Amino acid sequence: MFKKRRFLGYFGIYLRGIAMGAADVVPGVSGGTIAFISGIYEELLNTIKAFNLSSLKSIRREGVFSFWRKVNGTFILALFLGIGSSVVTLVNVINGILVQEGQTGEKIGLWSFFFGLIIASVIYVAKQIKGWSYKEIIGLLVGGILAYYITIAQVSENSESIVFLFFAGALAISAMILPGISGSFILILLGAYQPVMKAIMDFIATIKQGEYGELLTVSIPLVVFALGCVIGLLSFSRVLSFLFKNYEKITLATLTGFMIGSLNKIWPWKEIVDTRISSEGKIIPTVTSNISPSEFESMYAMDSFIPYAIGFSVLGFGLVFGIEFIGNKFKNEN
């Protein structure tokens, strides 16, 4: 049985959805991390798991309102409204920064913000493990090595095949609900990030321009991708729910390792090793390597924006504990 909330409680869920949506747009950051530190992670898994054949059959027997209560409908609606509004609002801003040619202060600021956020998240999740044993240490190492390997894996060429987008959605959403594993970065590795971002921006632009006759055409890639996400979400949430129920400490340790390993991807100062030309004619980095701020200055003959980076890192670090505070505030909301 899921907890009941008043309006303020569901507004808190909506705000957490906004934070999750912002995180999921950025390669290297996971919305699952935000869900975990804000105290709704297990409820989210259990809510997704509640969508099954039995609950669907209950619509006919007991009515829509009974089904809505069984699947924690108001919770998931508030959360997804937050995620959706965040993605629609921020996708152009964040994607615009990420696809800027060359090295910019905006890129360093963005990566620094999320670097601080992930470090704080590591501290937060590790604190939840009461009593470390060799099993938790092994889980930490395995998670860290796996996440690090994912960050250095070869990026695939972009593909806009409908079938490909379906499977990319299923795989990416599985990563998105894992704290420490970025669904957006999985999309980059698969070569699906730019097609998905382009599909979202085309959809938004079509609505803004009032070209409703084109809406069905531009919606097809998004609908197929969303169907893949739904299938992946319903399947993988059951696996995660089982792990949390039976192996909570090892699972938390592994997730902590995932977040530590993902730091390699979001280090702010990078050398651009290889690039490609986007469909808009922009030069997009495909392979980068981490360098120190001093190496960055000598390599690119520009400022490394260290004060800027520190400020945004502190902001990201503090945001985690702000989200934790909000999570605790609404935790017992009836």
Question: How long a stretch of residues is the chain?
Answer: 334
Cβ contacts of residue 38 below 8 Å, gap of 6+?
16, 19, 323, 324, 326, 327
Does residue 308 lie within any of the structural domains?
yes
Domain total of the chain: 1
Q: What pLDDT does residue 17 have?
A: 92
Does residue 300 lie within any of the structural domains?
yes
Does residue 1 lie within any of the structural domains?
no
Highest mean pLDDT among 131-135, 196-200, 232-236: 131-135
**Is the alpha carbon torsion for 182, 239, 15, 230 positive or negative?**
positive
Q: Average pLDDT of the chain?
A: 83
DSSP for residue 213: G
Which of the residue ranges 59-63, 76-80, 293-297 would you say has the lowest mean pLDDT? 59-63
Q: Tell which residue, 173, 191, 290, 281, has the closest CA to residue 227.
A: 173
**Per-residue pLDDT at 208 exceeds 90:** no
- Is 300:103 a contact under the CB 8 Å cutoff? yes
- Is 323:20 a contact under the CB 8 Å cutoff? no
Q: Tell which residue, 249, 283, 265, 268, has the closest CA to residue 127.
A: 249
Q: One-letter amino acid identity for 127?
A: K
Does residue 2 lie within any of the structural domains?
no
Does residue 26 lie within any of the structural domains?
yes
Q: What pLDDT does residue 152 have?
A: 79
Does residue 98 lie within any of the structural domains?
yes
Q: Show the domain range for 55.
A: 7-331
Q: What pLDDT does residue 334 have?
A: 46
Q: Tell which residue, 9, 29, 33, has the closest CA to residue 320.
A: 33
Cβ contacts of residue 4 below 8 Å, gap of 6+?
334
* 294 vs 3: which has the higher pLDDT: 294
* 105 vs 101: which has the higher pLDDT: 105
Q: What is the mean pLDDT of residues 272-286?
A: 69
Does residue 146 lie within any of the structural domains?
yes
Q: What pLDDT does residue 249 have?
A: 92
Which of the residue ranges 29-33, 161-165, 167-171, 281-285 would you say has the lowest mean pLDDT? 281-285
**Per-residue pLDDT at 115 exceeds 70:** yes
Per residue in 299-314, pLDDT (tens digit) is 888 888 999 899 999 9
Does residue 233 lie within any of the structural domains?
yes
Phi and psi, residue 289, nearest 5°: -135, 145
**Per-residue pLDDT at 10 exceeds 80:** yes
DSSP for residue 271: E
